[in-house]
Structure 1
């Protein structure tokens, strides 16, 4: 089988560079191109292997539409506005779309759902194998531990992250809510400041830390009188997310149109 042509929008950022490296190092894939914003100083520069510096023969462009046209799959870790536009390109050119963008609104997610009617879309808040196992374990633990166990989700990321709580933290909250058989929107507690009163039984709380260059740390804590159960994942390099995204890209090629997540890619049970 010929190599799968994979494009990367936002190829110059930290995550973009990790993705470039993974694609260039994988024998089943070929890098079809990479894009940056039109005002980026990287536009027109060679795309090099981030570790070796070897040139790929491609240059960074600002034409995301063209990238979707020439690619089998495009990986997208950008921003909500850009991702919504990219969904329209995926539909137009029948290009599989791998989306790791966080901070999406309902309007953005409607665009993803529309694209998924035409092409395979893998949309996940986190592409790490370990984190997706954490989602599964969180749901299972929440289903076994009743409301005597208060659930708290703690996350920490680098100082440059712009959204909070993280998409992964919210997905962990949804997994816990699913395990309890409730809607996260009905039990979420994201803001605590001043005299808040005592904790409401059954709520799922969130706490956020920011600082340094932390790639991502998430803990789900189940707290009862005299005992606590904690499930934790710590990422030390964003390469784990790039590897998962590439796995999703290779998996998506040839699949039917539909909205998928990493449970589909990894074969984890959803129920």
Structure 2
């Protein structure tokens, strides 16, 4: 599989190029930068600090449409939708790790996935996706007797809150408990709010420094508390998961998939 990376000069883009270079079952097909970037034409390997790889960075998907089979996208919601539409039109697979999409944008992504295969997940980490499986199991066993609180922390530059991963955790727990997250979620608390309700799922957000990503889900009742925690110390964990998803897409039919499919956790 020939993989294209968009946003190749960013922190995530460089990690993705490195992860592709280190993988045995995929190759780097293209590296895309922002239009007008001073790095257009530079070797993608040198951008990532690997030395020359023989792939010159370009400024649009149209410039490399014949050079890749699957695109990995960790950009912004609006740009991701444009890239997904391009991949659908040209029958290219796509891995989407972009967060902060609203319901309408997710629906648009799903439409694109009906024309070409897509893996869409708010977190590509293998460990985190195993954590989601553990959360579903815990919620099913513990039931409504345990209060659920989700605490997440990320670096100061993250623009969406709560994180897409925290929201996915909430969705998994709510589904296991037979609840609708849109109805039971509580985002932050302040003032004289009274006692928590039995079925609410609380979210607390921390933004500080260079935290890559930390998530903790509390199941608490009288006399005990269970915490299921995932901490990422490097963006490489997300990059490796995305590359694994890209490789998994080879030969897949059109449709929307997630990391639970990739890891055979369903």
Q: TM-score, normalised to structure 1's length?
A: 0.94
Aligned match for 2:225, one of 220, 224, 228: 228
Q: Which deviates the most, 243-252 or 51-60?
A: 51-60
Match of 2:67 in 1: 70
Match of 2:93 in 1: 96
Runs of 4+ in structure 1 deviating by more than 4 angstroms, as ranges, are 49-52
- TM-superposed CA distance for 1:27, in Å, is 2.7
Q: CA RMSD in A?
A: 1.4
Q: Assess if the C-alpha contact under 8 Å between 2:9 and 2:47 holds in 1.
A: no
Q: Assess if the C-alpha contact under 8 Å between 2:5 and 2:13 holds in 1.
A: yes
User: What do the CA deviations read for 1:62-82 (whole angstroms, capped 9, x no partner)?
Assistant: 112333443110000000010
The CA distance in 2 between the partners of 1:146 and 1:29, in whole Å, is 43
Length, aligned pairs only? 266
Match of 2:9 in 1: 12
**3-state secondary structure, aligned to 1:162:** coil
Are residues 1:258 and 2:255 paired?
A: yes
The unaligned stretches of length 5 or more in structure 2 are: none
- TM-superposed CA distance for 1:116, in Å, is 1.1
Are residues 1:159 and 2:153 paired?
A: no
Distance 1:23 1:63, change over 3 A: same
- TM-superposed CA distance for 1:39, in Å, is 4.1
The CA distance in 2 between the partners of 1:69 and 1:202, in whole Å, is 51
Match of 2:215 in 1: 218
- TM-superposed CA distance for 1:198, in Å, is 1.6
- TM-superposed CA distance for 1:53, in Å, is 3.3
Match of 1:24 in 2: 21
**3-state secondary structure, aligned to 1:66:** helix
**3-state secondary structure, aligned to 1:218:** strand
User: What do the CA deviations read for 1:9-30 (whole angstroms, capped 9, x no partner)?
Assistant: 1111111110000112223222
Are residues 1:240 and 2:206 paired?
A: no
Q: Assess if the C-alpha contact under 8 Å between 2:122 and 2:164 holds in 1.
A: yes
